[in-house]
Amino acid sequence: MIPFIDIHCHLDYLQDPEGAIKRAKEAGVGVILTNGVSPITNRKGLALAKTHPEVKAALGFYPPDALEGFIFSEREFQEELAFIRANKKHIRAIGEVGMDFKDGKDRELQGRVFVAMITLAKELDVPLLIHTRKAEELVLGLLDREKPKKVILHCFCGKKALVKRASDAGYCFSVPTNIVRAENFQQLVEMVPMCQLFCETDSPYLSPFKERPNEPAFVVESYKKIAEIKKLDLIEVKNLIYQNYQRLF
């Protein structure tokens, strides 16, 4: 049976990741891509992937200073790149990486780190799962310059012109579960072909249900909304997204 896929979540941030994995399986979710953002979370995600067949690991390095208290040295960064390379056989993607200008800190450093992660993804021939908060245009410029082959823009909030630019470049988009009430993601789905769409929860964030933390089982809500917008059957949407997964991964 074709599974639902949560292409971007943070299992290690959940209070009960084991329970969340169980509930996801019961909901028909057969692929859960948990994303690391730091050395600690990379190792937690890798451990979950090694013990649960449904869980796949993406190892990444979140934009510097976007995580409170997250300070690193060049030596630590190079060690983490080496760790990711050493675990190539156990990972499916590089993520979560990107740029975050919410507070406008260390933009030059963020750019250097992001380019290094793009280079690593190209070296390992795996997809990039990219975060672009208030940095969409610059991120697209760097992607145009560095030319990675496999790009998924996570929770992309850029203007329509930037959505079109990214879509025309062949990049994919992962649609979060709060699409049920977020018009910008509904408009994105209207604009982007099915062959460039994935679904995500970004658990425990962006829940489709108010006052309930998000979890991978809820990714089905993204599928349902995409089916409604694209005027397709839910099974057809599930099959098409699975084809996208097979093509990129």
The enclosing domain of 84 has a CATH number of 3.20.20.140
User: What is the pTM (predicted TM-score) of this model?
Assistant: 0.96
C-alpha–C-alpha distance, residues 147 and 62, integer Å: 20
pLDDT tens across the length of the chain (249 residues): 899 999 999 999 999 999 999 999 999 999 999 999 999 999 999 999 999 999 999 999 887 655 555 557 788 889 999 999 999 999 999 999 999 998 767 888 889 999 999 999 999 999 999 999 999 999 999 999 999 999 999 999 999 999 999 999 999 999 999 999 999 999 999 999 999 999 999 999 999 998 899 999 999 999 999 999 999 999 999 999 999 999 999
C-alpha–C-alpha distance, residues 231 and 34, integer Å: 30
C-alpha–C-alpha distance, residues 238 and 4, integer Å: 6
CA 218 to centroid of chain Cα atoms: 15
- Provide the 8-state DSSP code for 63: P
Secondary structure of residue 62 in the 3-state scheme: coil
Domain count, the chain: 1
C-alpha–C-alpha distance, residues 185 and 228, integer Å: 13
Longest dimension (CA), the chain: 51
**Pairing state between β 91-98 and 128-131:** parallel
C-alpha–C-alpha distance, residues 111 and 118, integer Å: 10
Element holding 17 (H helix, E strand): helix 17-26
Identity at 240, one-letter amino acid code: L
Task: List phi, psi (to 5°) of 197.
Answer: -115, 140
Secondary structure of residue 85 in the 3-state scheme: helix
Residue 152, domain extent = 4-248
How confident is the model at residue 99, as a pLDDT? 93
- 């300070």: which residue's tokens? 71
